[in-house]
Amino acid sequence: MNRMLTAHNSLALLLAASLTACGSSSIDTDSGDDDQPQQVVPDLNEKPIQLSPLSKASKTEFLTHYKNGLYLSASNNGYVYKDGIAVPEMAVDAAADAGGGTSDDGGNFSQTVTQEAGVDEADRVKYDGNYVYVNDSGNYQNSIAPHVRILKRNADASLTQVATTSFDAQTSEQHIHPDAMYLAGDNLVLVNEQNYFYAIDTGVDMASLAFGDALWYPYESAFYVSIQDIAVPEQPALKKEFKIDGRLISSRVIDGNLYFVSSYAPTLPYEWLSPTTDEEKIASFKRVSELAESDILPQVEVNQTDNVNLVEADNCYLPQGSTDKDGFDALVTLSKVSLANPETIESVCINASVAGFYASQQSIYLFGSEYQSNVNASQTIIHQFKLDDNNSFDYLGSGMVEGQLNWQNPHLRLSEYQNVLRVVTTQTDWSNSDDRFTHKLFTLQHDADSQSLKIIGQLPNDSQPAKIGKPNEDIYAVRYFANKAYIVTFERTDPLYVIDVSDAANPSITGELEITGFSSYLHPLGDNLLLGFGQEVDPNGGGLRDIGADGQAEDDVIEPGLKIALFDVADINNPVELGKHVFVNSHSEVEYNYRALAYVKVSDTEHRIGLPVNSWKTELVNNSWRWTHSNTLGLLNVIENNDSATLNFVGEVTPDSDQHSWDNRGIIHDDIIYFIQNHQIWQSDWSDSSLVNGPY
């Protein structure tokens, strides 16, 4: 299918195209019977219903709502209107996800860190203790297409490449990147999301356009999923491959099933957009209303042959209270594929705005936020779908909370535990320079009688009025472990809050620790220990120091850089920083993508950690300063000793390589270390990281 998106006004509509459309379809510009013209355009509601629970719609109700939204979008030249202001809609949450540790079979090797136990997440490197799977973006100049390398671990822990695999649809002209993977039993799942590329339409009279009004066309928006049998890793065999219209939001593997959430909207031909006269509006509405279902529903191409609807029009949900005068121009689809028998994709869709996704072993939660200008505040709605064994999704209900989840790993702000959903939100008021942020924690529970997620507790509250965070401190990290929640806020110093949520109706702040710097990712090590990954920051700024009566600085010089901190949280009333290590002038992928963390508990008393470290420094060469950069794998461990623990720097794996990468990974297997830099793998030893073999 030819999938061309038309937009103009350069940057603004470029954003609207990439975020609102999230996909496009080939639409016959000659569709409809011009002998029977539409007589009138209904008086439609321009503002879509956003903050509403869902209701299963009939086929007619769904198609009416969807086509109304498409017409309104066409009339507004690709924009969805809110409160009379044109803004691009967003239905993408490609953020990373977090947790994980020792393998299920008891081997001491690290695996992909995940947010929830039993809920696997995609990553660019996978390891099962015997084989390493790593994506290789290829080399176009040398005609090497993107592929996955499969390397076998030898008796001496070296690696030998035994096979490669890729998408079956891969051709010399079609470079389909295996962006991420899953390992599930004897299945290797490759996941791809095509990028957006834009080109100016040279068929348009450019002289007739105002400056900055160039027309832009992206190529098709689609993603691929390939399920391969790796019972014999040396001979991967294709089971099923899907090409799916739209844009992948996120995915998970739970109990042998692949779940993914994707967004899609057909994009109308340019000549249909921005009708101005009554005649043009009537013609545009008529064209949209007569579109076939296959033109406006995302399509699935199976093994490069058959095309079918990803979701059927009678299996979709609308916001409650929708009428035939309402509409929204995009779909979010929740889909499931059995990896053991991937013959069909089971899907439901929502014809409403969704911005993100969180999954537990029992449920999938979709959420979206809306800023309401009349009250200068945001609200977030959360929709709960229960996962069952009948290849279907049961919609349980929706709940509303004040504030929004913001952009940095928003799914980590949600956690389901013992049938209670915990959510941390932020309300931002930029007009209040004294305190811009209001943070709240909510607990919600499904209520069968009202078919809703009801708020059963929140913090702050009347009995616990203390705020989360000091004035102007934003949230940098949220993490839950069982009945405790940990929140890091930051402006100049890093308060770590410990929150007791064991009584879901009455959560309370039990402890607070103020230290320098901040953590942007928190990783629990059992009940009593917590690791923080972030940045060391000088609270005085610029190296300024408070000078005491003796003329000496009262505090130590703080050198900024990548900070790993170990916290003792056994006493929820008194969290303590047990130790820290700072890689000066450095940062790590772990700060924003926790899948880059290698973690394994090798014994009852030792935890081992490996993380990519990207460092920079300047050196004077020929009377001029030159920036230098390095990629290493930092190694640390935590040793538990009776009622205490220590954080220890072990060393760094430094390859003899001039490669630089921003998406590195590490693997720890007993005393063997593997460092994946781009698609190459280096081998080292825990006891002596100066010994480096490779690359493989």
- Which of the four pLDDT bands, split at 50, 70 and 90, describes residue 87? very low
| 274 part of a folded domain | yes
| Containing structural domain, residue 327 | 10-31+45-334
Q: Which of 343, 275, 257, 283 is nearest to 308 (CA)?
A: 343
- In DSSP terms, 17 is beta-bridged to none
Rounded Cα distance between 127 and 130, Å, is 7
| 296 part of a folded domain | yes
Rounded Cα distance between 299 and 306, Å, is 10
- Which of the four pLDDT bands, split at 50, 70 and 90, describes residue 208? very low
Rounded Cα distance between 60 and 600, Å, is 53
pLDDT at 130 over 80: yes
| 498 Cβ neighbours under 8 A, 6+ residues apart | 484, 485, 486, 509, 510, 511, 512, 513, 569, 572, 573, 575
Query: Six-digit token pair at 247?
Result: 């844009």
Mean pLDDT across the stretch 73-81? 62
pLDDT tens digits for range 656-684: 887 777 899 999 999 999 999 989 999 99
Mean pLDDT across the stretch 116-138? 95
Rounded Cα distance between 296 and 406, Å, is 30
Beta strands 346-350 and 316-319 are: parallel
Rounded Cα distance between 311 and 333, Å, is 7
pLDDT tens digits for range 369-381: 888 766 678 899 9
Q: 295: helix, coil or strand?
A: helix
Helices (H) and strands (E) in the chain, counts: 4, 45
Mean pLDDT across the stretch 125-143? 88
Q: Which of 134, 102, 106, 132 is nearest to 117 (CA)?
A: 102
Structural contact between residues 256 and 339, judged by C-beta atoms closer than 8 angstroms: yes
pLDDT value for 581? 96
Rounded Cα distance between 188 and 595, Å, is 18
pLDDT value for 209? 37
Structural contact between residues 349 and 315, judged by C-beta atoms closer than 8 angstroms: yes
Mean pLDDT across the stretch 292-309? 92
Q: Which of 142, 178, 167 is nearest to 679 (CA)?
A: 178
| 304 part of a folded domain | yes
- Which of the four pLDDT bands, split at 50, 70 and 90, describes residue 137? confident
Query: Six-digit token pair at 583?
Result: 């890689």
| 433 part of a folded domain | no
pTM: 0.87
Peptide bond into 460 cis (omega under 30): yes
pLDDT tens digits for range 545-588: 454 555 444 556 778 899 999 999 999 999 999 999 999 999 99
Structural contact between residues 121 and 647, judged by C-beta atoms closer than 8 angstroms: no
pLDDT value for 206? 38
| 61 part of a folded domain | yes
Rounded Cα distance between 664 and 613, Å, is 9
pLDDT at 160 over 60: yes
Amino acid at 101: G
Q: Tokens 């940990």 label which residue?
A: 486
pLDDT value for 431? 82
pLDDT tens digits for range 415-433: 999 999 999 999 998 888 8
Amino acid at 258: L
Question: What percentage of the chain reaches a pLDDT higher than 90?
Answer: 61
- Which of the four pLDDT bands, split at 50, 70 and 90, describes residue 98? very low
Side-chain-side CA neighbours of 591 within 13 Å: the count stands at 19
Amino acid at 108: N
| 64 Cβ neighbours under 8 A, 6+ residues apart | 324, 327
Structural contact between residues 582 and 536, judged by C-beta atoms closer than 8 angstroms: yes
Rounded Cα distance between 35 and 53, Å, is 41
| 361 part of a folded domain | no
pLDDT at 260 over 90: yes
Q: Tokens 């049938």 label which residue?
A: 419
pLDDT value for 42? 86
pLDDT value for 106? 43
609 vs 196, higher pLDDT:
609
pLDDT at 366 over 80: yes
Mean pLDDT across the stretch 228-251? 95
pLDDT value for 271? 80
213 vs 224, higher pLDDT:
224
Rounded Cα distance between 635 and 691, Å, is 14
pLDDT tens digits for range 20-59: 334 444 454 444 444 555 567 889 998 888 889 999 999 9
* CA dist 375 → 135, 369, 402, 688 (Å): 48, 14, 12, 60
**Nearest 10 degrees: CA dihedral of 481, 482, 483, 488?**
10
| 370 Cβ neighbours under 8 A, 6+ residues apart | 50, 51, 82, 353, 378, 379, 381
pLDDT tens digits for range 441-466: 999 999 999 989 999 999 999 999 99
Strands lying side by side in the sheet with 159-165: 125-127, 131-136, 147-153, 159-165
Rounded Cα distance between 128 and 109, Å, is 8
Structural contact between residues 152 and 128, judged by C-beta atoms closer than 8 angstroms: no
Rounded Cα distance between 694 and 677, Å, is 11
Amino acid at 625: W
pLDDT value for 145? 86
Number of folded domains in the chain?
1
- In DSSP terms, 534 is beta-bridged to 519, 563
Beta strands 493-500 and 484-490 are: antiparallel
pLDDT value for 270? 77
pLDDT value for 497? 94
pLDDT at 216 over 50: no
Structural contact between residues 512 and 497, judged by C-beta atoms closer than 8 angstroms: yes
Q: Which of 219, 300, 291, 230 is nearest to 260 (CA)?
A: 300
Rounded Cα distance between 23 and 97, Å, is 24
544 vs 121, higher pLDDT:
121
pLDDT value for 549? 55
- Which of the four pLDDT bands, split at 50, 70 and 90, describes residue 263? very high
- Buried b / exposed e over 126-147, threshold 16 CB at 10 Å, is bbbeebbbbbbbbeeeeeebbb
Query: Six-digit token pair at 164?
Result: 């490669």
Burial of residue 560, with CB atoms counted within 10 A of its CB: 0-12 exposed, 13-18 middle, 19 or more buried: middle
pLDDT value for 93? 33
pLDDT value for 252? 96
Structural contact between residues 567 and 578, judged by C-beta atoms closer than 8 angstroms: yes
| 402 Cβ neighbours under 8 A, 6+ residues apart | 377, 378, 379, 380, 425, 427, 440
pLDDT at 306 over 90: no
| 604 part of a folded domain | no
Structural contact between residues 630 and 612, judged by C-beta atoms closer than 8 angstroms: no
What angle is formed at CA 627 by the lines to CA 624 and CA 628, rounded to 5 degrees?
130
241-255, 468-482, 611-625: least confidently modelled range: 611-625
Rounded Cα distance between 424 and 657, Å, is 43
Ramachandran angles phi, psi of 70, nearest 5°? -65, -40
pLDDT tens digits for range 336-351: 999 999 998 999 999 9
| 27 part of a folded domain | yes
Rounded Cα distance between 193 and 176, Å, is 8
Amino acid at 548: G
Rounded Cα distance between 64 and 58, Å, is 10
Four-residue CA torsion sign, 47, 50, 56, 62: positive
Mean pLDDT across the stretch 631-656? 94
Structural contact between residues 103 and 109, judged by C-beta atoms closer than 8 angstroms: yes
Looking at every residue in the chain, the average pLDDT score rounds to: 84
pLDDT at 101 over 60: no
